[in-house]
Chains A and B, each alone.
Chain A
Amino acid sequence: SRRRMKRTAPRSTLRKIIKKHKPQLRLAANADLLFESFFFFFFFSILKVHLSFLLFLRRLAEEARTNAFENKSKIVKPEHTISAAKVL
Chain B
Amino acid sequence: PLKLLQPKPIPKRSGTSQRKPHEPQIARSLIKEIFRHFVKMPVTRDAIKIVEKCSERYFKQLSNDLEVFANHAGRKTVEVADLEVLMRRQGLVTDKMPLHVLIERYLPLEYRKLLIPIAVSGNKVIPRK
Contacts and interface: CB of A to CB of B under 8 A. Distances in A.
A is bound by B: yes
A8 B26 contact: no
A81 B38 contact: no
Interface string A41-81: 10111011111111111101110110010000011111011
A48 B27 contact: no
Contacts, number: 176
Interface SS of A by simple majority: helix
Interface of B: 1-2, 4-5, 23-27, 30-31, 33-35, 37-44, 46-47, 49-51, 54-55, 58-60, 62-64, 66-67, 70, 76-80, 83-84, 86-87, 90, 92, 102-103, 106-108, 111, 114-115, 126-128
Interface of A: 2, 5-14, 16-22, 24-30, 37, 40-41, 43-45, 47-58, 60-62, 64-65, 68, 74-78, 80-82, 85, 88
